[in-house]
Structure 1
């Protein structure tokens, strides 16, 4: 994974996204919806070809996990990619909504 990738968090009301901006205006994103004050639903992860092979999608999910953990929130991974990442990372079980 590249060390120089910057992940920004954008929030507006009950929606938000983690985004990585790349060359030529390309954006990798993971979108989510807030459920009350204690949960988020990851509903989409999109990574354009320019970011492929760099682990950007996994980095987006990992950032959401870090932020959820710090805020005491749980994550519901409806997005198939995010759900697969949770299956690969047992250490994220503390933030997975069961």
Structure 2
């Protein structure tokens, strides 16, 4: 696993993981910045995807935990829109504090 990163210019979070063949592959989440009424911003998680070679390895779930940990550490508010992200947060209620 490589470092989690926010590629601000592309509005994308990314993280590298090693596939079963030892190659580094990427899981990513595209986001958009939304203004919140009354001030502030939240990040709408629009799409989460893993390279084909990582599917079924658990990398996407590990990525989502990194994303949630990053949001908590940076005091970001997330609004999951992608069905995978919505489902992940429903299974991980301990991260409700980063949702809004």
Out of 16, 19, 42, the residue aligned to residue 15 of structure 2 is: 19
Q: Tell whether 2:73 aligns with 1:76.
A: no
1:29 is aligned to: 28
Partner Cα separation in structure 2 for residue 79 and residue 92 of structure 1: 16
Partner Cα separation in structure 2 for residue 63 and residue 6 of structure 1: 11
Q: Pick the structure with greater CA Rg.
A: 2
Return the offset for 1:26.
Answer: 4.3
Out of 66, 70, 89, the residue aligned to residue 67 of structure 1 is: 70
Partner Cα separation in structure 1 for residue 28 and residue 91 of structure 2: 20
Partner Cα separation in structure 2 for residue 33 and residue 6 of structure 1: 24
Q: Which runs of 5+ in 1 are unaligned?
A: none
Secondary structure at the counterpart of residue 85 of structure 1: helix
1:46 is aligned to: 49
Q: Which moved more, 1:11-20 or 1:42-51?
A: 11-20
TM (norm. structure 2) is 0.75
Secondary structure at the counterpart of residue 61 of structure 1: helix
User: What is the total number of aligned residue pairs between the two structures?
Assistant: 92
